[in-house]
Chain A
Amino acid sequence: MAPYLLKRVGQTVLTAWVTVTIVFLLLRLAPGDPAVSYAPPNPTAAQLDAIRHEFGLDRPLLSQYATFLSHLAHGDVGTSFQFREPALAVVLQRLPFTITLAVAAIVVTALLAIPLGVWMARRANTAAELGANIATIAGQSMPDFWIGFVLLIIFAVNLQVLPSSGFTSLSSLILPTLTIVILQVALISRLVRREMGVNLAAPYVTIARSRGVSESRLTWRYAFANSAIPVVTALGTRFAAMLNGVVIVEVVFQWPGVGSLVVDALERRDLPLIQATVLVTVVLALVVQLGVDLLYPLLDPRVRLGAGAR
């Protein structure tokens, strides 16, 4: 177990480092001059040079990278151009909002998708299941920004029952979560249905049924217990992906999380902030993924990590 853990941690660090390096290089090779966003309007060449010097942008690429790495070793990801504060602090300030959204979304997804998937599996090959099948395909097909807008128009603009943006109260969580959930429930319920379909048709279930075990016990204690493992891992993976992927929902609902922060930072070419955001979200996603993978043998005694896995 320990060597496996070490290997995975090593892989996490490596992936995070490679990602941040790629982002670092791309940002500095991209056209456009970050200094302009922080200069007075109609700046003179001298003013731009001064700003570039202050940000360290006039030094050769390798030198900038070396400084970046050495600061990183001390936990300093640079100072945000816009906020003139440590970039890491700015990101961490907004991270709880993104995490709240992701947690709310994954909890609601689990609560909705699992019963739905089990129901679909129980009624396999019926007209009802066909309807649910088409509905879930529709759910995962609609662009998330569009769903967000439609919900906004209906609930916030016309009915005015829910707040439209920002995080002002618990009810602000509803519309963004709903937008994410529609897509995720579609995906997860289909996965549950697939797994349950396989397990419900398994011989051990047939034998148990012939011994008189009730349907509901069969569904939950037998088939679902075995389906739970891939479903839990999928939920974990989706949660990890959500930490990176709720960017669009955050933009539509002006959610004060990390996603909207980074879109804004990209526009302003706030290089340290972009780098800090990428670093934090990638590390977080990888750590969650690692957690899910480590959880696996706890759930499924047949799996032994390290030997032959992956």
Chain B
Amino acid sequence: MAVADLVRPSAVTLRQLNSSAAARRARHSTIKIWVGAICAGIVVVPVVLAGVLPLPDPVRGVLKDTSLPPLSPGHLLGTDPNGRDLLSRILHGGQTSLIIGVLAIVLSGLIGVVAGSLAGYYGGWVDVLVSRALEAQMSLPLLLMLLLVVALFGPSITVITLVIAVAQWPEPARLTRALVLVEREKPYVAAAQVLGLRRPSIILRHIIPNILPQVLVVVFLLLAQAVLLESALSFLGAGVQRPYPTWGGIISDGRELFVIGTWWLVTLPGVAIALLVVGVNLLGDGLRDRVRRVKAAT
């Protein structure tokens, strides 16, 4: 809102307006969104284009190029002991990790929103069931259970995606439930009920569109967690099978070697993970600042 927009001249200067808390908050959230998008973009764009870029084969290496350090000719990030280009492995591995991450959050978002809205709207035993399930899942040792399940059903992309989705559904569910509880009391819902709309219809066509922006931001933030979880599982050996690279798998393979000088196998994939996750988190945080209704201090 610029001074020129005001009809009457005011003692409030443009400068004062621009340094107000609200303006600064808006500016900061924009900065966060941009920085986040750039960080995430640096990782996501090459990963998505990995099949198209002129990269060496991530699976077949040239043995005589074993363990070259970064900035070697032809290998920007170096090679692993099998002579495979690290940059290529990171980008191709990123595809696997991202696919798993995106599928997992879509799944957990769906489950979470459905469960949360049903629990919030219907209340009663549905609410009790969902709330108990949420509590129970919070008290289980997560990583342990995930390792067990992967050991049971095998480390395939499907299993790992399902496992991560199940690990993450509580957050969107809890948020959805809280938001639906509030929305439920609003007049437009009463109006819809009076009009004779059936309850599922009300939830789907009226309530959910109103809470969707906030929930979507939270689900988006889960992508970061999903990528971290996938790499943690790979690191502990429960990831997707070789020789196809995954970020956690590359780090796990490089673990015994970094001490003797082959540091790039452990640090560089981690940088990729960190950049992506920081980017997603920043982006999500900035979006959340925009979308959150200002919590009025009472």
A–B interface present (Cβ within 8 A) = yes
Chain A residues with CB under 8 Å of chain B are 15, 18-19, 22-23, 26-27, 29-32, 124-126, 130, 133-134, 137-138, 140-146, 149-150, 153, 157, 198-199, 201-203, 244-245, 247-248, 251, 262-263, 266-267, 277-278, 281-282, 285-286, 289
The answer to whether A278 touches B152 (Cβ under 8 A) is no
> Of B25, B28, B255, B273, which is in contact with the most chain A CB atoms at under 10 Å from its CB?
B28
Closest 5 CB pairs of A and B: A146-B270, A141-B277, A244-B141, A125-B24, A201-B297
B86 interfacial by beta-carbon distance below 8 Å: no
Chain B residues with CB under 8 Å of chain A are 21, 24-25, 28, 31-32, 35, 135-136, 139-145, 147-149, 151-152, 224, 228, 231-232, 235-237, 251, 255, 258-259, 263, 266-267, 270, 273-274, 277-278, 280-282, 285, 295, 297-298
Sample of 13 A–B contacts (CB below 8 Å): A19-B141, A23-B145, A32-B151, A130-B28, A143-B273, A146-B267, A146-B274, A153-B258, A199-B297, A247-B144, A248-B232, A251-B236, A282-B139
In chain B, what residue has the closest Cβ to A263? B236
Given known contacts A141-B277, A146-B251, A150-B270, A133 and B143 CB-to-CB distance under 8 angstroms: no
Given known contacts A142-B277, A143-B228, A266 and B151 CB-to-CB distance under 8 angstroms: yes
The answer to whether A146 touches B266 (Cβ under 8 A) is yes
Q: Which residues of B contact A150 (CB under 8 A)?
A: 267, 270
Given known contacts A27-B148, A146-B270, A244 and B297 CB-to-CB distance under 8 angstroms: no
CA of A29 to CA of B148 in the docked complex: distance in angstroms?
Answer: 10
Shortest CB distance A211–B (Å): 18
The answer to whether B235 touches A134 (Cβ under 8 A) is no
Q: Which residues of A contact B259 (CB under 8 A)?
A: 157
CA of A263 to CA of B144 in the docked complex: distance in angstroms?
Answer: 8
Q: Which residues of A contact B237 (CB under 8 A)?
A: 267
Given known contacts A30-B148, A124-B21, A150-B270, A145 and B136 CB-to-CB distance under 8 angstroms: no
The answer to whether B152 touches A31 (Cβ under 8 A) is yes
The answer to whether A248 touches B28 (Cβ under 8 A) is no
Other than the given A143-B235, A278-B141, 14 more pairs (CB < 8 A) read A30-B148, A32-B151, A125-B21, A130-B31, A134-B32, A137-B282, A142-B277, A153-B263, A153-B266, A202-B297, A202-B298, A262-B144, A266-B147, A285-B141
The answer to whether B297 touches A203 (Cβ under 8 A) is yes
CA of A247 to CA of B148 in the docked complex: distance in angstroms?
Answer: 14
CA of A124 to CA of B297 in the docked complex: distance in angstroms?
Answer: 15
The answer to whether A141 touches B28 (Cβ under 8 A) is no
The answer to whether B232 touches A26 (Cβ under 8 A) is no
CA of A278 to CA of B140 in the docked complex: distance in angstroms?
Answer: 9
Shortest CB distance A95–B (Å): 14
Shortest CB distance B271–A (Å): 8
Q: Which residues of A contact B232 (CB under 8 A)?
A: 143-145, 248
Q: Which residues of A contact B236 (CB under 8 A)?
A: 247-248, 251, 263
The answer to whether A153 touches B231 (Cβ under 8 A) is no
Shortest CB distance A20–B (Å): 11
The answer to whether A133 touches B32 (Cβ under 8 A) is yes
The answer to whether A248 touches B143 (Cβ under 8 A) is yes
CA of A278 to CA of B35 in the docked complex: distance in angstroms?
Answer: 41
> Of A27, A31, A143, A267, which is in contact with the most chain B CB atoms at under 10 Å from its CB?
A143
CA of A262 to CA of B141 in the docked complex: distance in angstroms?
Answer: 12
In chain B, what residue has the closest Cβ to A16? B139
Q: Which residues of B contact A199 (CB under 8 A)?
A: 297
Q: Which residues of B contact A32 (CB under 8 A)?
A: 151
Given known contacts A15-B136, A140-B281, A143-B231, A26 and B149 CB-to-CB distance under 8 angstroms: yes
